[in-house]
Structure 1
Amino acid sequence: MAGLSWRNVYMNIKSNEKKENSAIELVIEVSAAEFDAAINKVYNKQKKNIMIPGFRKGKAPRKMVEKMYGEQVFFEDAVEEAYPAAYDAALKEAGIVPVAYPKLEIVEISKDGFTFKALVTVQPEASVKEYKGLVVAKPEVKVTAADVKAEMKPFIDRASRLVSVERKAKKGDVAVIDFEGFKDGVAFEGGKGENYPLELGSGSFVPGFEEQVIGMKAGEEKDLDITFPENYTADLAGAAVVFKVKVNEVKERQEPTLDDEFAKDVSEFDTLDEFKKDLKEKLKARRQEQAEREYEAAVIDALLENLVCDVPEAMVEYRADKMVEEQAMRMQQSGLNFQDYLKYMGLSMDDVRAQAKTAADRAVRTALVLDAVAKAEGIEVSQEELDAEVKRLAEQFNVTEEQVREVTNVDDMKQDLASKKALELVKSSAKKPAKKKEEAETEAQAE
């Protein structure tokens, strides 16, 4: 095979052989001229730190350095410098689109150049046994009066007020307390507070504390026997302590009257009915979106059961690595350090990669099965559809369409749009499961 100049990279593909697991092995030869240029780049980067007797630091000629340390002194770094461009050029010549990181092995190296093997994973052949008429249940979306009341609760809580009462404290009340904790008769640090408003039942204090305050009245004092959990701070973990508590005041939460005035106070609506209607519609829209996501996931699950494909492990590993990189990048953009996050969560990088690998496996298989459907149906993406997607992305991220085109791979966008069209086709042809006899009779009686 003749040599190729791709971006001024001179290399030669000595062999191109298909291997198992959707892999291709390329044996790539890098010319002496290309390797020598790489050695020279490495020498120029490193010479400022090189000291040779008779020369000032950084002034020793390359030939003198090689003579003193051997001609191989720069070989390893020069290979690292030269192989990426040679690998990319070989992929271009061979028309190979990799789907994972390659496995590289140096075969031969000398001043006349070097030869390396690249085991390249490519997209595997995939087909789908069935994709039309899949039986998939679609979640029903309902919003009850109780649901609407639950939606109103945050508004009710904000409009409620605490009123002092002369009775025993009960769950839901706020007890204003003085407290101090003692371990072996000695007060411990962080165990004291005055006029602290404790919502009983909130679980904000150590287990057993709030339960013992319930039933106390204003002015009452009590010793509470408490045992700290084993997973508490080291100095108190599992310790038996005594809290001396005095209730200064008991307050109950008085909710507002739910009428038109309440609606005006907490919303932009003039009537309670309008406010409830708005809450119901918004809740229904959220649940419909969630139901659609669950339905789409169920459709994909059904599709994946019909996927015929040997998925290369390297493809999944590559996708998992990208997911971890993207997660770290998102955190960095939010001002968070990824390593600090792992430490805080008690996770190792292996834990994160294991989680990512599960998601990556599903993502890879989903892409393969949708691509198989698109090919089976001859789905194509028009220029008008591409232009519409570019416009949508530009509006979504508040950038120009030209900026979107600059950072977007057209082939990737086409594949993504084709996969979306394939999924819509599968969803539109899916069927609901047949209702059981009991369900049908129940619905008939309800009508």
Structure 2
Amino acid sequence: MQVQLETLSTLERRISITLPMAEIDAQVGERLKRVARNAKIQGFRPGKAPMKIVEMNYGAQVREEVLGEQVQQAFYKAVGEEKLRVAGYPRFEPVNNEGDKETFKFAATFEVYPEVKVGDLAGKDIEKPVAEVTEAEVDKTVDILRKQRTRYSRVEREAASGDRVIIDFKGTIDGVPFEGGSAENFPFVLGQGQMLADFETGVTGMKEGETKSVEVSFPEDYHGKEVAGKKAVFEITVKNVAEAQLPEVDADFAKMLGIADGDVEKMRAEIRKNVERESKRRLSARVKENVMQALLDVTEIELPKSLVQLEVGRLIEQARRDLESRGMKVQDMPFPPELFQQQAERRVALGLILSELVEANQLEAKPEQVKAMIDEFADSYEQPEEVVKWYYASPDRLEGPTSMVLEDNVVEFVLSKANVVEKPLAFDELMGNNA
């Protein structure tokens, strides 16, 4: 086997390989003999056809298989000897070898992994948000849990903000009904922005059994383009007005939340534990994002185009599956690769940087770290020991926790090298609840 290596660019290589045809012919002959033992050819009993007939029927297919295997084996042997790390998939092509029947020549064009040198983190500021869980946050969470268990009781009074109303309505524009403009027994809660402001204002103050017409202006940017910017008149009949009733914070409420003996203090302690767990998770996610951005900021890296293209393909397939899971038909839906290019480049860059950091600084996930991570997951379930067993029942299930531990190790390492700037964060902002 003869090998010639060319450098086409910083990351692109071309390797030309020459194989002796005699070895290929010998392997083709051996494989045809094996095929002949069971070959079913019309006019002959299985395994009794002459070799010439076998070769006529199977020769081209067998030669193609042998050549494919030889090309793959020769390529990976050559790049191994040259100590090259192939990124993505190589592009193979035969080399015109006219007149030479003694050898088979082919070339492979491919990219190699870049040398990654993580930049200096010593002078890099990394923001680390901090948030405290106090009794006030526990109180807010209790209120949210109460609202989630709201019951509505019928009242004989005018509808007010916070009430649930059940209505019939018919809408027209210039006297003509429009699609989606009517419904019967339609429930919604006043004051929650479920309907347009004009509509809710019209319903507010109405009583059960009352009917009136309400003029509603659709915004110019309304999602229904056929009515956007237009005025409609709705004839509305209120069929029911119900007042919200929140459960009291008592033993019955505690039991609803899984506290068997109804102890309210136990309930608050459990809520606090859950809130602290969620707060920790969100803070960790924000810190991790800041660390990853810092690594990208300080590290210059040329990305193999082949890896980026592969990642674009993965992201497109992920988006396709996500939309299908939501019941959308995506068969003919376009997924322009350029929409995923930036995200793919970021993911590939981070993958290369993290791989270098982990290898250079022995940041691999240790078994005891993975176990601690799984124990933390399991702690939020009623039977944590069953959750732990589930994870350890299959090596594949450990991949997720192992990857998370590895990322946590990288985050801790980077924070130990950089200038960490703590920033107090309001609990509502952390939880994405500014109400």
TM-score by length of 1: 0.67
**Within 5 Å, which residues of 2 pair with 1:14-93?**
14-33=3-22, 83-93=71-81
Q: Does 1:98 align with 2:86?
A: yes
Q: What is the aligned partner in structure 2 of residue 286 from structure 1?
A: 278
Q: Work out the CA distance in 1 between the residues paired with 2:103 and 2:373.
A: 49
Q: Work out the CA distance in 1 between the residues paired with 2:84 and 2:230.
A: 65
Q: What is the aligned partner in structure 1 of residue 48 from structure 2?
A: none
Post-superposition offset of 1:247: 1.4
1:219-244 deviation line (CA, Å, top 9, x unaligned): 32112334556765676666654321
For the residue of structure 1 that corresponds to 2:113, the secondary structure is coil
Contact 2:164 2:190 (8 Å CA) reproduced: yes
Q: Work out the CA distance in 2 between the residues paired with 1:117 and 1:340.
A: 46
Q: What is the aligned partner in structure 2 of residue 107 from structure 1?
A: 95
For the residue of structure 2 that corresponds to 1:201, the secondary structure is coil
CA-based RMSD: 4.9
Taking only the aligned residue pairs, the percentage that are identical comes to 25
Q: What is the aligned partner in structure 1 of residue 431 from structure 2?
A: none
Q: What is the aligned partner in structure 1 of residue 45 from structure 2?
A: none
Query: What amino acid sits opposite 1:354 in the alignment?
Result: Q
Structure 2: runs of 5+ lacking an equivalent: 41-51, 375-387, 424-435
Q: Work out the CA distance in 2 between the residues paired with 1:397 and 1:227.
A: 55
Match 1:353 to one of 340, 358, 365:
340
TM-score by length of 2: 0.68
Q: Does 1:160 align with 2:153?
A: no
**Within 5 Å, which residues of 2 pair with 1:68-217?**
83-108=71-96, 114-131=104-121, 135-187=125-177, 191-205=181-195, 208-217=198-207
Residues 114, 209 of structure 1: CA spacing in aligned structure 2 closer, same or farther, 3 A cutoff? Answer: farther
Instruction: Report which structure shows greater RCO (CA 8 Å, sep ≥6).
Output: 2
**Within 5 Å, which residues of 2 pair with 1:219-298?**
219-226=209-216, 240-268=231-259, 270-298=262-290
Q: Does 1:427 align with 2:415?
A: yes
Query: What amino acid sits opposite 1:23 in the alignment?
Result: E
Q: Work out the CA distance in 1 between the residues paired with 2:326 and 2:167.
A: 41
Q: Work out the CA distance in 1 between the residues paired with 2:404 and 2:114.
A: 18
Q: Work out the CA distance in 2 between the residues paired with 1:432 and 1:73.
A: 63
Residues 264, 235 of structure 1: CA spacing in aligned structure 2 closer, same or farther, 3 A cutoff? Answer: same
Query: What amino acid sits opposite 1:101 in the alignment?
Result: Y
Q: Work out the CA distance in 1 between the residues paired with 2:13 and 2:404.
A: 25
**Within 5 Å, which residues of 2 pair with 1:367-378?**
367=354, 370-371=357-358, 374-375=359-360
Post-superposition offset of 1:214: 1.8
1:32-63 deviation line (CA, Å, top 9, x unaligned): 3566567999xx9xx99xxxxxxxxxxx9688
1:277-323 deviation line (CA, Å, top 9, x unaligned): 32122112211122123223323333333325444333433444455
For the residue of structure 1 that corresponds to 2:201, the secondary structure is helix
Residues 198, 155 of structure 1: CA spacing in aligned structure 2 closer, same or farther, 3 A cutoff? Answer: same
Residues 308, 183 of structure 1: CA spacing in aligned structure 2 closer, same or farther, 3 A cutoff? Answer: closer
Residues 226, 355 of structure 1: CA spacing in aligned structure 2 closer, same or farther, 3 A cutoff? Answer: farther
Post-superposition offset of 1:142: 1.4
Post-superposition offset of 1:113: 5.3
Contact 2:127 2:422 (8 Å CA) reproduced: no
Contact 1:227 1:240 (8 Å CA) reproduced: yes
Q: How many residues align?
A: 389
1:251-270 deviation line (CA, Å, top 9, x unaligned): 21122333344323444163
